[in-house]
């Protein structure tokens, strides 16, 4: 079945979940790990969630504490041990809109050592 898929999109499965930003070893894109919690709108209890069609939804259609059907999604900056079983991880690609950049060369005395010149890039 994988041969029939024409739109192969990288899932970034090799990006570790314990870092905030990392480069994907498969596609080379800069990936940001974003953690979200699904909470009941009525009582505020944490609900288990999942991603479906790009949206974060609760696992059940109702709250197991109060029976409410409304929910909201909260983004958390750092994941902790207590929230790990309820949290939803979304790996998003960080887009760069660089219009200009500066290049500079490292200049060394080649008679003293065999240092190879390198181009250093600095994005503004």
- The pLDDT assigned to 45 comes to 93
Residue 33 in this model has a pLDDT that exceeds 90: yes
Compute the average pLDDT of residues 88-109: 75
* Alpha carbons 123 and 111: distance in angstroms, whole number: 32
- The pLDDT assigned to 91 comes to 92
Q: For 43-75, how does the pLDDT look when each residue is reduced to its tens digit (9 = 90+)?
A: 999 999 999 988 999 999 899 999 899 999 999
- The pLDDT assigned to 28 comes to 85
* Long-range contacts, 9-13 (Cβ 8 Å, 24+): 11/91, 12/91
Compute the average pLDDT of residues 80-92: 91
């Amino acid at each position: 079945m994988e041969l029939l898929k024409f739109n192969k999109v990288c899932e970034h499965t090799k990006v570790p979940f314990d870092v905030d930003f990392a480069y994907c070893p498969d596609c080379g894109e800069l990936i940001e790990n974003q953690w979200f919690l699904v909470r009941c709108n009525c009582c505020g209890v944490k609900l288990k969630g999942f991603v479906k069609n790009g949206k974060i939804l609760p696992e059940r259609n109702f709250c197991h504490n109060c029976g409410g059907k409304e929910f909201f999604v909260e983004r958390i900056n750092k994941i902790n041990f207590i929230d790990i079983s309820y949290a939803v991880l979304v790996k998003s690609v960080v887009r760069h809109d660089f219009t200009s950049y500066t290049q500079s060369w490292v200049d060394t005395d080649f008679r003293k050592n065999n240092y190879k010149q390198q181009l250093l890039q600095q994005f503004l």
